[in-house]
Amino acid sequence: MKILVTGGAGFIGSAVVRHIIGHTQDSVVNLDKLTYAGNLESLLSVADDARYAFEQVDICDRAALDRVFAEHQPDAVMHLAAESHVDRSIDGPAAFIETNIVGTYTLLEATRQYWSQLDDVRKAAFRFHHISTDEVYGDLEGTDDLFTETTSYSPSSPYSASKASSDHLVRAWQRTYGLPTLVTNCSNNYGPYHFPEKLIPLMILNALDGKALPVYGNGMQIRDWLYVEDHARALYKVVTEGEVGETYNIGGHNEKANIEVVQTICALLEELVPTKPEGVAHYQDLITYVTDRPGHDVRYAIDASKIAAELGWKPEETFESGIRKTVEWYLNNEAWWSRVLDGSYSGERLGQA
Ligand code: NAD
């Protein structure tokens, strides 16, 4: 099978590409615009593989998408390309509307045209898998409530509203045109190659540098943490074994308050890097509470029983094992993150070289 992965230079997309090349016989075409979040240095381990190809393309560019479909003739699309950072969506929503909504629409139309011309066998086997977020469901009120595949949508931020919109488009293309689509909604991912603007890598790298560890509000926002490699395995299962038209929620069964996450990172660093930056007695002392994000959802938690029952997937990592692996990865991969921090990683320049 040849899989067109959009956003394959991003955090989750690169884990998906590494999973497919490393653990299956399938081929990948990585289609990515290489925004600030795209980093080809996350793909060095697969870049020379004969089953891997890269196309620097914007999903809003219909002509370029048509060329890629015609040239590569994929059997499936895994759509991960998106603007993904909530804070950025509050500061500047336009790019989120453009990429997440207009881009998904453009990709759906390019896919539909390509798919409609396939022979009957390839047409029936074709899949369009849209990767979305649990943030489309909004806030969970009760402490025992969980998001299921039928929870109604109630997005709170420009980011989650744009993702909700794209989910609706994908389902409409299935109902209206018969495009064989699947949708997955997952909880917060963490793990290697995570861009340092997100909570976990930001805290690790700030702590190592003796900088403040900024925690929003009271730090009691609860997220269900999913190790990115567990997620990549789940996504591959869905695209290869999932039922057309279905939605699968993917979660890690790891509900943690943000402050607990930060405290766990501090405790791991105390153990792994006991020699601290000058003036820092304990990493925990660096924690500072900052003004909460507007519209900040308090709790997300996923009921992942459907994907477990129907596709036999469950996460391999607990939060304790995954966060330890993650901290160790950052300690061992300064070459990757130092080039992100100083801006020299520029995926764009690498892509054009
Ligand atoms: P990311 O920001 O790390 O990566 C996004 C990738 O998309 C980048 O490589 C970027 O260059 C590319 N991209 C952006 N705009 C593009 C465009 N117009 N055309 C082509 N490529 C473009 O994001 P991520 O964390 O890897 O998330 C991947 C997907 O998973 C997103 O759709 C996101 O909404 C969803 N998701 C993420 C999380 C999470 O915790 N990270 C949780 C739930 C869902």
pLDDT digits (tens, 9 = 90+) for 281-301: 999 999 999 998 888 888 989
Least confident of 185-189, 252-256, 333-337: 252-256
Q: Whose CA is nearest to atom 10 of ligand 1?
A: 38
Check pLDDT > 50 for residue 352: no
Here the CATH number for the domain that contains residue 119 is: 3.40.50.720
288 assigned to some structural domain:
no
Q: Cβ atoms within 10 A of the Cβ of 339, count?
A: 14
Tens digit of pLDDT for each residue in 70-89? 999 999 999 999 999 999 99
Kindly list the protein residues whose Cβ atom lies closer than 6 A to any atom of ligand 1: 6-7, 9-13, 32-35, 37-38, 58-60, 80-84, 99, 103, 131-133, 163, 186, 188-189, 195
Strands, E assignment, the chain: 2-6, 27-32, 52-56, 76-79, 127-133, 181-186, 189-190, 213-216, 222-224, 226-227, 247-250, 255-257, 287-290
141 assigned to some structural domain:
yes
Tens digit of pLDDT for each residue in 166-175? 999 999 999 9
- Cα 8 to middle of ligand 1, angstroms: 8
Going by the DSSP 8-state scheme, the letter that residue 147 receives in this structure is B
Kindly give the number of the ligand 1 atom that is closest to the alpha carbon of 98: 18
Predicted pLDDT at 205: 97
Check pLDDT > 50 for residue 353: no
Between 271 and 298, the more confident residue is 271
- Cα 4 to middle of ligand 1, angstroms: 15
pTM: 0.96
Q: Is 159 in the active site? A: yes
Q: Are 51 and 74 in contact (CB under 8 A)?
A: no
> Amino acid identity, residue 313?
W
Q: How confident is the model at residue 134 (pLDDT cuts 50, 70, 90)?
A: very high
88 assigned to some structural domain:
yes
Range of the domain at 183: 2-194+225-253+298-318
The whole-chain average pLDDT of the chain stands at 95
Which of 11, 65, 230 is the best mutation target for the ligand 1 pocket, counting ligand atoms within 8 Å of the beta carbon and taking the most?
A: 11
279 assigned to some structural domain:
no
Longest CA pairwise span in the chain (Å): 68
Q: Whose CA is nearest to atom 27 of ligand 1?
A: 12
Q: Are 11 and 193 in contact (CB under 8 A)?
A: yes
Instruction: Tell me the β-bridge partners of 52.
Output: 28
Q: Is 135 in the active site? A: yes
Listing DSSP states for 95-135 in one string gives HHIIIIIIIHHHHHHHHHHHHHTS-HHHHHH-EEEEEEEGG
332 assigned to some structural domain:
no
